[in-house]
Amino acid sequence: MVLKTGKVGIFQLRLKKYPLKSKILIGKKVKEICRKNRVKFLVNDDPKLAKKLNADGCHLGQNDINVNDARSIIGNKIIGVTCHNSIKFAKFAIKAKASYLAFGAFFPSKTKRTKYQASIKNLKEASKLTKIPLVAIGGINPQNYKKLLLNKAKFLAISSYIWKNKKYKPLKAIERFK
């Protein structure tokens, strides 16, 4: 499947509008695929679901519970935090000992409407504050990703280019990142 490229290190299950039963069913299947391919499996927004699925961790948005409360649910697992374009949010997440900080959107995205525009400056500023990995999110494709990696992003969160690509199926889309 897609993961044989060796380019996927973490897979985030992001099923916003699905009922809990469906999330559990899909989550179990995705977790198994991730385990077989040695890919970390995270659940978006929901530490309780992450615990139920025995995921490797969860990702929290600014409107979700805080890192400390999430940690009390899932224990010492990966907890990433969305910082949008805010160094203030990053400082809170650093203090709470988040596992990674996610900034974005860097570019227009098909996944969701973007309220916040992140910049290379955000990555550079955050990298001066911490050694916690920085993740770039939003509209990332084979034409623009290198600039992010060359400017302190450790990971890239890529969704629409892979899953909503009209030209390439997921495996081919991933292979385009050289």
Alpha helices in 6-159 (DSSP H): 20-36, 47-52, 67-74, 87-95, 120-129, 145-149
Give the Cα separation of 89 and 155 in Å (integer).
19
Q: What is the mean pLDDT of residues 26-54?
A: 96
Specify the pLDDT at position 178. Answer: 81
Give the Cα separation of 44 and 52 in Å (integer).
13
What is the domain count for the chain? 1
Specify the pLDDT at position 167. Answer: 95
Residue 142 belongs to what domain range? 2-175
Specify the pLDDT at position 5. Answer: 52
Q: With cut-offs at 50, 70 and 90, classify the pLDDT of residue 6.
A: low
- Could you report the per-residue pLDDT of 136-178, keeping only the tens digit for each? 999 999 999 999 999 999 999 999 999 999 999 998 999 898 8
CATH number of the domain where residue 169 is located: 3.20.20.70
Pairing of strands 78-84, 155-157: unpaired
Peptide bond into 173 cis (omega under 30): no
Q: Per-residue b/e over 142-153, b at no fewer than 16 CB within 10 Å?
A: eeebeebeebbb
Cα→Cα distances 10→13, 102, 108, 150, Å: 10, 13, 22, 20
Reported pTM = 0.91
Q: What is the mean pLDDT of residues 52-56?
A: 98
- Could you report the per-residue pLDDT of 76-112, keeping only the tens digit for each? 999 999 999 999 999 999 999 999 999 999 998 777 7
